[in-house]
Amino acid sequence: MGIRRDLFAGEVLYRQGEPSDCAWLIEQGAIELASVQGRRTIQHGVLGPGELIGELSMLDGAPRSATATARVDTVLLAVEHDQFLERLEGSDPIVRTLVDSLRRRMRALMAALPEDAALPAEDVAIDDPEERSGIGKIRLESQLREALDSGTLEVRYQPIHDMHAHAVRSYEALVRWQLPGRGPVSPAEFIKLAEETSLIVPVGEYVLDRVVEVLVALRDQGVSPLPSIAVNLSARQLVEPGMARQVVQRVQRAGLPEGALKLEVTESRMLDYAPVAAVMRHCREHGIPFALDDFGTGYSNLTHLHKLDFEFVKVDQAFCRQMFDGPRAMAIVEAIVAMAHGIGAQVIVEGVETREQLEALGRLGVRHAQGYLIGQAAPVHEVLSGEAARGLERVAAG
C-alpha cells in the first residue's frame, strides 16, 4: 500500500465491513462517509482537509463501520497502524488506559444503537490548536516515511579542515529533507520527530548507507588517503538493538579502512552509560572512532568525557562565536581544548566563520575546524569531484 493515495471524485477509499489497517489524513478534497443499516443508507457527513478518518478501526482492528467515498478529487495520507500503536505503547499508562476505555465504550455504544440509527461518524472536526499540531506531526511523520521509501532525503557533506595537514581530510554527513510545498525541513525539526519513534532507525540506516557508498566511490576513484566521514547518531539510535552490529557489518562488507567512518554522538537526553559504552567498545574494536558532539552545551557534559572514551571532542559552535567577546570567553575555549587534549582526544571546533577565529584556534592548538569559512554542507557530487575539499583555497583566492 502506498502511503499517499489520490482518489478521483466518486472513487471509494474503503467499504463498510472491510478489514482496516490504517487511518487516513485528508490532505485535499473531501470524503463522504455512509453506511448501510438494514435497508437504509445513512449519511454520516463529509470530512475535509486536516481531518482524520478511520482512526477508531485503526485502534482496534475492527472492520470499517462505514464506506468512505471521495466527493471530489482527493489526496490522502495513510497513518499506519504501527506508527500509531508505537506512540500509544510508549505513552503514559494512564493515557493508554483512557484511550482504550474510550475506544471500548464507543464500540459498546455503537453496538447498542437500534439497527436504523445514524451512527456518529468516527471523526469530528478539529478546532483545538493542540490537536492541530498533533495532526501536523502525524502528517510530517507520514511524509518522512514516504521520503525514506522514495529516497528523497538528501545527505550533504560539510568539509572539516585539518590544520596539521593544511587540507580537508574529513566531512560531516548532514541530512536534508526537501519537502514539496514546504521547502527544506531542518534536521533539527524532523530528527527530533523521528527520534520520538523507531523511525529514527531507518533514517540512520539511510544516512549510513549513503555515506558508505560515497566512501566506496572515493576509494574506487583512487583517492588516497581516504577522507573520514562522520555520521550523526543520537544515543537512542546507538543503543537500538543490533545497531552496532549493523554499522560494523556495513563497514566490513564495504571493506573500508579503519577510521573511514566516524560516529558523532548527539545527545538530547541524559545518556545511560553502560549500554552506550558497550556499543562504543564494539565499534571501536572494528576501527570506528567516536566524537562527542556539541560539547559544552545541553546534556553534553563532563560526565560523558569521564565515563566514555571519545577520540574526538566537538566544541559547540557557540564557543567559537563568543571567542572574541573577552578574555573570559577565550579562557574557556582554551580550557576546553587543554582538557580534551589531556584525555587524549582530538578537538574539532564547529561554527568557524572567520579567518580570525581560525587563526586563534590554530594558536590554541586546535587541529580541526568546521564551519562556513571552510564550506557549507555540499552535495555528494562536489565531494566526489573534489570540489568540496577546496574550502580554504577558495577563501584565500576570493
Q: What is the x/- site pattern for Ca ion, positions 194-233, by CB under 5 A?
A: --------------------------------------x-
For ligand C2E, which residue has the nearest CB? 371
Which residues contact ligand C2E (rule: CB under 6 A)?
158, 174-175, 186-188, 191, 207, 232-234, 266, 293-294, 317, 351-353, 370-372, 377
Binding partner of residue 186 among Ca ion, ligand C2E, none, CB under 5 to 8 Å per kind?
Answer: ligand C2E
Report the alpha-carbon distance of residue 316 to residue 320 in Å, rounded: 8
> What is the contact mask toward Ca ion in residues 40 to 69, using x (rule: CB under 5 A)?
------------------------------
Judged by CB under 5 A, the number of residues near Ca ion is: 5
State yes or no: residue 35 binds Ca ion (CB under 5 A). Answer: no
267 lines the binding site for Ca ion (CB under 5 A): no
**Residue 50 contact among ligand C2E, Ca ion, none, beta carbon within 5 to 8 Å by kind:** none
371 binds, among ligand C2E, Ca ion, none (CB under 5 to 8 A by kind): ligand C2E
| CA–CA dist 265, 234 (Å, integer) | 6
Written as one string, the DSSP assignment of 300-343 is --HHHHHHS--SEEEE-HHHHHHGGG-HHHHHHHHHHHHHHHHT
Show Cβ contacts of residue 189 under 8 Å, excluding neighbours closer than 6 positions. none
Question: Which residues does 237 contact at the CB level (< 8 Å), separation at least 6?
Answer: 195, 200, 201, 204, 243
State the nearest-atom distance from the C-beta of 114 to ligand C2E, in Å: 54
Cα of 200 vs its chain's centroid, Å: 5
Q: Does residue 264 touch Ca ion according to CB under 5 A?
A: yes
Collapsing DSSP to helix, strand or coil, 152 comes out as coil
Q: What is the CA radius of gyration of the chain?
A: 26
- Residue 372 interacting partner from ligand C2E, Ca ion, none (CB closer than 5 to 8 Å by kind): ligand C2E
Residue closer to ligand C2E, measured from CB, 123 or 264: 264
Residues 265, 238 contacting (CB under 8 angstroms): yes
Q: Which is nearer to Ca ion, 148 or 191 (CB)?
A: 191
How far are the Cα atoms of 130, 229, 313, 373 from residue 291, in angstroms, in the given order? 37, 12, 5, 21
Please, what is the minimum distance in Å from the beta carbon of residue 348 to ligand C2E? 11
Conformation bin of residue 329: beta by default, left when phi > 0, alpha when psi is -120 to 50: alpha
**Residue 207 touches which member of Ca ion, ligand C2E, none, C-beta under 5-8 Å by kind:** ligand C2E
**Of the two residues 232 and 237, which places its CB atom closer to Ca ion in the complex?**
232
Q: Tell me which residue of 42, 33, 26, 41 sits closest to 12, measured CA to CA.
A: 33
Residues engaged in binding Ca ion (CB under 5 A): 232, 264, 293-294, 350
